[in-house]
Structures are given as structure tokens and as C-alpha cells.
Amino acid sequence: MTTVLGLYNYWIVVVLMMIGLYIVIANGNLVKKIIGLNIFQTSVFIFYISLGKVDGGTAPILVEGVELYSNPLTHVLILTAIVVSLATTALGLAIVVRIKEAYGSIEEEEIQIKDNKEC
Amino acid sequence: MMDMVIGIGSALCLLLGSFLCLSGGIGIIRFPDFYTRMHAAGVSDTLAASMILIGLMLQNPEMIVMMKLVMILLMTLFISPTASHAIAKAAMNSGLQPLLVQAETKTGDKSSHL
Amino acid sequence: MLIAATVAMLVVMALTIIRGFLGPTFYDRILAVNMFGTKTVLLISLLGFVMGRPEFLDIAIVYALINFISVIGVLRFSNSPVFKHDIQEKDSGENSS
Amino acid sequence: MAFLVCVAIAIVRLKDLFAVAMLAGIYGLLSASLFVSMDAVDVAFTEASVGAGISTLLMLTTIAMTGRSEKTSGHKPLLALTVVCVTGALLIYATLDMPSYGDVNSAANLHVVQRYLNDSFMEIGVENIVTSVLASYRGFDTFGEVVVIFTAGIGVLALLSFSRREKDDSEIDSINESMHEEHLVVRIVSKILIPFILLFALYVQFHGDFGPGGGFQAGVIFAAAIILYAMLFGMSVARRVINQSFVQLFAAVGVLLYGGVGVVSMLSGGNFLDYNVLAADPVAGQHLGILLIELGVGIAVAMVVIIIFFNFASRIGFSSEGDKL
């Protein structure tokens, strides 16, 4: 029972990661692929944060009379990672927009068909 | 004495707020069409939020926390009706009819056919 | 009491998510997102008190603001021609059913 | 937690991209509240403003440009499913070795972290350890992140900014005007709110030493206020208020401010980004350094997000024009 409770978070992370991966692999739509990528990223964020959580600890802002804090290092890593994920998402979406303008479609297969025709 | 009154008051506010929230949640599931759901969400949002925030305010003596709570309260009071208004207006403009109007036009059509 | 309110909030959030899934029209979904945002604000203020760290209230303020901005953004972009077209289709589909 | 999985599964199932984007918004809010419950206040702050706000908006703009419905793909998902399941099974097998949730003695919580927790207040004098680690101990990393964001901004600019036609603007404007007549209430409320949002962004920026907050979050909130303005009052009005070249200049200024602090500290005898030498007293020097680089981060992030959004949004008019032709 304790192992189940102790590892519950990681399992959720794994499931989320699987879902994200599945979307990225199986969906043809490029926007949806980016959303899948976002889910994948979030699962990694949650993984790091749950690594840094300490039982009975509180947020790592020093106050008097509190001894135990959660791990600030993972928070720092993820904080920057989130902003970078925003940047990558924006870049990805920009590329999607350009693809739409160039091919008239954002479905993977249609783009492939068009590419083959041109060759 | 004063403490007890404040404690009871905050507990009452919190309970009332939770109850309103729950009723709003049930409403948003059970109501038949968009505008009635909108009503459930809007009403419960505003009143329940202010009830819970007031309950929290009563629990806390510190000044800065109080200020922040007041700010949140003001913002919810500003934002939530505005957002509801905007959504309802957009829905109306896009041609989404309330259930009642839909029913009336349908019966009207039938009677004219008959 | 705080715990009870928190649990109530969680239940309401679950209900709202269900509406977000089902929502026949997309205005229902927007409504669900909006309500979900308000409930999150309340949940976070409650959590701050439950954990005894009222500094969390800053986050609640951000939520309130961001929620408003995203709802307005959604409505703004739902006015674009692509969406208009789709709504009409969807509406006619619903009426016929 | 289980909520998250449900939302994610629903995202897989739904074909309507608009609904998917809405659910992605809910997903962002949900993961942020999860972060709050796991004590990661700063992370929740960032996720709230980024995941729930800005990235949802960007997705919506993209969907508005590229069309809403998704076609069912022909190829079989069976292969993908097996790959994913195998990966998942391996990962779950790997979690059996992980320390259990909330363990004080897990490897991640033992090494350098104790030093941060115990000594950072003495060395830096900032209550919020996340800020001190972010800006001082790991200043190099953060500099790298800022440069990455700046590069992404340049990338979006390069991809989307060309062939913006002035005459389209006037047409879009007329559409916007007719639309905004209807949005009177929202406009007035936003007019009241926008100054508060800007003020709050500044509060977050400078209060980052004592509470949750800092340059990244403040930048995003600041940008959000301006995005709200741009959405309600039309793109060209916003472009008149906020000059594009000015924004681009300041994005660079933000990054340079960060780098400049590093160079100054190097010139005055320390290492790159070593703030101790910036003032007579090391702690005061740290304070000054953190303040400056947080400012740099804030400016850079805000301006990059504004650039990204403006380019996306002014593209909408362009591509819908293209569709008509």
C-alpha cells in the first residue's frame, strides 16, 4: 500500500507521458501534435516537481519558525523550462502557420501527397 | 467571545459559499440549454466566490493578506459578470437560440404546416 | 471547515470538467473554462490557508487576471470567419437532431 | 491528479481542435493548481500565466488561421499504441526504483540543495530561495534560457513578419470597429483593469525577492495586459501605441542588460555574473545584481511575448485574406 501511494505520482506522470507520446505519433494534425508535445512537457514538469516535494515541507520562501522546505532546485529548473516551452510552442506554431500557407493544409498525409507530386 | 463570533461567522460564510458552489456545479451539469447553464454558472460564481473570500477574510488578522483578499474579491466581482456578459453576447450573436425560443419556433412551424 | 470547502471546490471542478467534455456547443466549453478558472482561484486561496502560507494569494490574483484575458481572447478569436462558419454548421446539426 | 489524466484522454479523443484548445487551457490551470499543492509556488505562478493564458491564446490564433476540424488519419494507430505501451511499461518498471513521494532522503534532496537552503540567506539575503538560486547560483543557466527565448522571438519574427501589407490593416480595422461597437462593456472594464494588471506586473517583478514572482512571471503578465489591449482595441491601434521597432529594440536591451551585468562584474574583478563585486558589501552587491538581471529577464520576456503575439495576430488578417482569394 505504501509503495502504491508513494509511487502514485510517478505513475500518473508515466500515463500522461504515454498520452502525449501517443498524440505526437498517431495524430496527423500538426496543431494537435504540438498540443501533444505540450502534454508531454507538462508530464516532465510534474515529474520534477514531485521529486522535489518533501513531506511536511512548505514552499521554499524563508519564514521564521519553519525548518523544512521543499527542494528549490527543481523549481528553478522547471520555472525556466516552462518559459522555454512557451517559446518552443510559439516557434512550432509559427512553423505550422507557414506550412499552412505554403501547402494549404496542416494534415501530415496531405502534405506528403503534395510533396510527392512535386518531386 | 469576539473570537468565537468571528469563527462562527467565517465558518458560516465558507459553508454557504461551498453550498452555492455545489449547487452551481450541479446546475451547470443538469440544466438543459446553454443560457440556463450560464445562469447557474454566473450566479454561483459571483456570490459563492464572495462568500468564500469573506469567510477567509474573517479568519485572518494580517493586513496585507486582507488587502490581497479584498483585491481578489474586487477582481472577481468585476471580471466574472463581464466575462459572463461577453460569452452570452457572443453566443447570441452567433445565432445560438435559447431553448424556449427554439421550442416556440418549432411549434409555430408545425401549426403553420397544419 | 477549510477542508470541507476545499473538497467542495474539487467536486465542483470535476462537475465543470464534465461539462467541458460534454458541452454540445463550444460556448458551453468556454463557460466551463471560465467557471473552472474562478473555482481554481478559490481553491488556491483556500489551499493557501490550509497550508498556512497566505503568500499563495498572489497566484490567485494572477489566475483571476489570466482567466479573464483568456476568455476575452477566446471570444475575440471565435469571431473569425473560420469559426463563424463552423458554428452555423453545428447549430443546424443540432436543430435537426 | 486523476483529473489531469481524464483531461488528457479527452484531448486525445476529441476531433474538434477548438475544444481541444479549450481543454488544453483547463489542463494548464489544473497542472498549475497541482503545482501549488506540491509547494512549487513560483512554478505554479509561471504555469498559470504561461500554460493557461498565453499558450492557449497562441493555439487559438493558430487554429483560427489553419482551420478548425481535424481529419481522421488513415494509418493505423495500432503500431503507435504498442510503441507507447512498451515505453510506458518500461517507465513504470523504472519507477519501482524511485524514492517514494515526499521522501526527505531521496537523492535529489541531499546534495547541493541543503547548501542552498542553509546558506543562501547568509550569502545573498533574499527570502525566496527560488529567486536566489535562479538569479545567482544558476545565473549562467538563466542567461542561457533568456537567450533561448530571445532566439525564439527572432525565429517567429523571421517566419511570420514579412509581407505585412498596410492596406490590409485598414480593412481589418473596419471589421474590428464594427465588432467593437458591441463589446462596450468589456472594453470599459478592461480599460479599468489594464492599469491594475500593469501595476501588478511591476509588483510581481520587484516583490520576487520576498514572495513568489520574478522576472519571468512579471514579463508574461505585462505582456498579457498589452495583449488584452490589442485584442479589444484592434491590432493597428495597439501597434500605434506600442511601436514594433521599439519592442524589438527592448527585447535586445533586456538580454543585453543581463549580459551587461555579467560583464560589469567581470570588469570589476569578479567572475562573469558574480555579483559580490558590484557593491562594497557582498550581500548588497547580490541584491543589486539580482534586481538588475530580474529586470533584464522581465523586459526580455515581456517584449518577446508581445512580438510573438503581434506577429501571430497580424497574420490572421493576412491568411483569411488569402483564403478568400
Give me the interface pTM, i.e. the ipTM. 0.80
D166-182 and D184-207 helices cross at what angle (nearest 10)?
110
Q: Chain centroid to CA A43: how far? A: 5
C-alpha to C-alpha distance for D49 and D122, rounded to whole angstroms: 32
What is the pTM (predicted TM-score) of this model? 0.82
Count CA within 13 A, CB hemisphere, residue B113: 6
Residues D76 and D145 in one domain: no
Using the predicted structure, report yes or no on whether residue D230 has a pLDDT greater than 50. Answer: yes
- In this structure, are residues C88 and C76 in contact, taking their beta carbons and an 8 Å threshold? no
Concatenated DSSP letters for D99-132? PPTT-TTSGGGTSHHHHHHHHHHHHT--SBHHHH
Determine the pLDDT at residue C91. Answer: 41
* D185 and D280 housed in the same domain: yes
Q: Would you give the DSSP letter of residue D137?
A: I
Which range among A1-5, B89-93, C34-38, D172-176 has the greatest average pLDDT?
C34-38
Which residues on chain C are in Cβ contact (under 8 Å) with A63? Answer: 53
Q: Looking at the DSSP assignment, which residues form a beta bridge with residue D69?
A: D16
Is D117 contained in some domain? no
Q: What is the CATH number of the domain that holds A114?
A: 1.10.287.3510
Same domain, yes or no: D259 and D191: yes
Q: Provide the shortest C-alpha distance from residue A114 to chain D (in Å).
A: 16
Q: Provide the residue range defining the domain that includes A109.
A: 2-118
Neighboring chains of A (3 or more beta-carbon pairs < 8 A): C, D
Give the total number of structural domains in chain A: 1
Chains D and B are touching, with contact defined as 3 or more CB–CB pairs separated by less than 8 Å: yes
CA–CA separation, D110 and D199 (whole Å)? 39
User: Within this chain, do residues D144 and D273 fall inside the same structural domain, yes or no?
Assistant: yes
Q: How far is A113 from chain C (nearest CA, A)?
A: 25
Number of domains in chain D: 2
| pLDDT of D37 higher than 70 | yes
Task: Report the distance separating Cα D130 and Cα A79, nearest Å.
Answer: 9
Phi, psi of A107 (to 5 degrees): -90, 135
Query: Who contacts D266 (Cβ-Cβ below 8 Å, separation ≥6)?
Result: D272, D274
Look at residue D39 and tell me whether its pLDDT is greater than 60: yes
What are the sequence ranges of the domains in chain B?
A: 2-104
Q: Do residues D55 and A86 touch, judged by C-beta distance below 8 A? A: yes
Residue contact A22–D305, C-beta within 8 A = no
Q: How far is C25 from chain A (nearest CA, A)?
A: 20
Size of interface C-D (CB pairs under 8 A): 139
Q: Which residues contact B16 (CB under 8 A, 6 or more apart)?
A: B51
Phi-psi region of A58 (alpha: psi -120 to 50; beta: other; left: phi over 0): beta
Q: What is the pLDDT of residues D264-286, one digit of tens each?
A: 877 877 777 777 777 777 777 77
Out of A58, A61, A63, the one facing C51 most closely (by C-beta) is A58
Is the predicted pLDDT of residue D320 greater than 70, yes or no? no
Query: Does residue D112 lie in a domain region?
Result: no
Give yes or no: residues D82 and D42 share one domain. yes
Q: Which three cell numbers stand for residue A96?
A: 505550422
pLDDT band for D249, please (50, 70, 90 cuts): confident
Q: What is the pLDDT of residue D322?
A: 36
Phi and psi torsions of D69, nearest 5°? -90, 155
Question: Do residue D148 and residue D269 come from a single domain?
Answer: yes
D254 lies in the same domain as D321: yes
Residue where the block lists cell 474590428: D176
Residues of the domain holding D306: 128-325
Sign (positive/negative) of CA torsion B64, B66, B67, B73?
A: positive
Residue D38's φ and ψ, nearest 5 degrees, are -100, 25
Task: Answer yes or no: is pLDDT of C86 > 50.
Answer: no
Examine the domain organization and report whether D57 and D163 are in the same domain.
no
